[in-house]
Structure 1
Amino acid sequence: MASLSTNWITEKHIDFEYKRYVLLGYLKQVSDNFTGSRLYPSLSELITHYRNVVAIRDNKKNLFNSFPDRLTGADSSGTHLTYEKILQDDHLMQEIESIIAYAVPLFEQYLKEGKTVYDFIESRLHIFPVGIMPLNADEGYLMLKFGPGQDTLVYRFHLTIFENPDEKYRGIATNFVGVWEKSVSNTFENIKLDLIRQFRHMPNPATYVIESELNIPLEETLLPIARRSLVKYVASQLPN
């Protein structure tokens, strides 16, 4: 999928019809991905583009600074150059404002489409712990089982906390461990015991299962949503 440049509004030819063509071409690919339940990286890119356009709309200084300079003069030696912002042109400013006014509701429309797909998939995830949980649930294993097969994908996870003066953010890092086949005789509890035997540095790891009957792309959709869902689930189990 072709990406949309971060500076797509101000780079290259600044013309409403041209930018409209570029934007609609990009959003067509995004919509095709959403229709095929391929959410990432399209959804995260879309959020970034939307925030950038709104920031430019709300702060014209950002718009001014995003434009390149145009050389307007030099002294006889060529050592002192004079530049001015291309945005001094009133016509360009009008084109930019028209592009932004057109783009913002379109980004909102496609973000809503992506969120609808995201919420549907998230609602079809079933999360539960396996075995006795340790006091520290910030590190352990995530078992991911989806679709009609019996394969269970196992990931090691580690939760982190990022803080700023106003609030805390939780993040998650995952590393693929391997594939186990779940069966009547090889339950999730047995898979956990097998993991403990193989990786003795975690004698009682926090272990969670995320199941879904949906057969959807793993890397582009299920794993990113499962990771976020696990962060929310673990946070919800913490004492207030």
Structure 2
Amino acid sequence: MQNLPINWLTEGLLDFEYKKYRLLAYLQAVRSEFGQQRLYPVFSDLIMHYRNLQQVREHKKLVYEAFPQQITRADFEKLELVYEKIVEDDETMAQIEEVIQYAAPLFQEAVYQGRELYDFIERHLEINPVGITPMYFNEGYLFLDAFPGKETQVYVYRITVFENTYEKYRGINTQLVRTVRRGLAQTHENLKVQLVKENQELPNPATFVVVAKVPCPLDSALLPIAKRSLVKYVTRLAA
């Protein structure tokens, strides 16, 4: 799709019409992805751009935490130096602010559309434990059933906890184990029993199944949302 560079505000020609053209081309590509129910990675990229735009508008500076992990601290510092020079130039800054005023509501609208799509898919996911759930459920198996279809994607999952002074964060990593065709003899419960026999390192694994009730792409929507839904579900169990 049409990508928007992380430093699109400052790079290239500082001209309102040029920036407007790049922005509209990017947002059109974003809406095209949403129209096909593909949320990732475009939704994360969109949120990054919107957050950075807000920071620039409110504080006249870039914020490292708003940028994706792919950008290094050194790269960010170079970009920050470029931006500091622009801030000191009143005429150039006036052009940047004109672009920001135009772009902010468009980004906000696109983020809202992405959030609506995310919420719609999430509302149509059903998550349940498979078998008896042990006391420890930060590691185990995730069964993922797409719609329509008769296959189950089997993942090993691990939830990690990060803490700072103010908050506790949970992240999740998954690894695809296999794809299994469901049937009368191959239920989720039977599949869990097979996995326990094959993997002695997880003798009593927490196992959850997420079933999609609406069609959506596996890698660019269903799996990322299912992973976040599982984290929420496990967090409630731990409360």
In the alignment, the residues of structure 2 paired with residue 198 and residue 6 of structure 1 have an alpha-carbon distance, to the nearest angstrom, of: 46
Contact kept? 2:143, 2:207, Cα under 8 Å: yes
Contact kept? 1:143, 1:210, Cα under 8 Å: yes
- Give yes or no for the alignment of 1:11 onto 2:11: yes
Q: Which residue of 1 aligns with 2:75?
A: none
Contact kept? 1:10, 1:67, Cα under 8 Å: no
Greater Rg by CA: 1
**Which consecutive unaligned segments of at least 5 residues does structure 2 have?**
64-78
Alignment of 1:118-133 (within 5 A): 118-133=118-133
Q: Which residue of 2 aligns with 1:49?
A: 49
Q: Which residue of 2 aligns with 1:72?
A: none
Q: Which residue of 2 aligns with 1:110?
A: 110
| AA at the equivalent of 2:29 | Q
**What is the TM-score of this pair, normalised by structure 2?**
0.89
Q: CA deviation at 1:191?
A: 0.3
In the alignment, the residues of structure 1 paired with residue 161 and residue 61 of structure 2 have an alpha-carbon distance, to the nearest angstrom, of: 33
Cα distance change, pair 189–61 in 1 and its aligned pair in 2 (3 A): closer
Cα distance change, pair 212–189 in 1 and its aligned pair in 2 (3 A): same
In the alignment, the residues of structure 1 paired with residue 86 and residue 229 of structure 2 have an alpha-carbon distance, to the nearest angstrom, of: 46
**What is the TM-score of this pair, normalised by structure 1?**
0.89
Determine helix, strand or coil for the equivalent of 2:135. Answer: coil
In the alignment, the residues of structure 1 paired with residue 86 and residue 113 of structure 2 have an alpha-carbon distance, to the nearest angstrom, of: 36
Contact kept? 2:146, 2:218, Cα under 8 Å: no
Alignment of 1:68-87 (within 5 A): 68=82, 85-87=85-87
Determine helix, strand or coil for the equivalent of 2:210. Answer: strand
Query: Deviation per CA, 1:108-167, whole angstroms, max 9, x where unpaired?
Result: 100000011111000000000001111110000000001122110000000001111001
**How much is the aligned-residue C-alpha RMSD, in angstroms?**
1.7
| AA at the equivalent of 2:198 | Q
In the alignment, the residues of structure 1 paired with residue 132 and residue 162 of structure 2 have an alpha-carbon distance, to the nearest angstrom, of: 28
Q: Which residue of 1 aligns with 2:192?
A: 192
Q: CA deviation at 1:235?
A: 0.5
Q: CA deviation at 1:36?
A: 0.5
Q: Which residue of 1 aligns with 2:72?
A: none
Which structure dedicates a bigger proportion of its chain to strand? 1
Q: CA deviation at 1:90?
A: 2.6
In the alignment, the residues of structure 2 paired with residue 149 and residue 33 of structure 1 have an alpha-carbon distance, to the nearest angstrom, of: 22
- What percentage of aligned pairs have identical amino acids? 47
Q: Which residue of 1 aligns with 2:99?
A: 99
| AA at the equivalent of 1:55 | Q
In the alignment, the residues of structure 2 paired with residue 224 and residue 175 of structure 1 have an alpha-carbon distance, to the nearest angstrom, of: 13
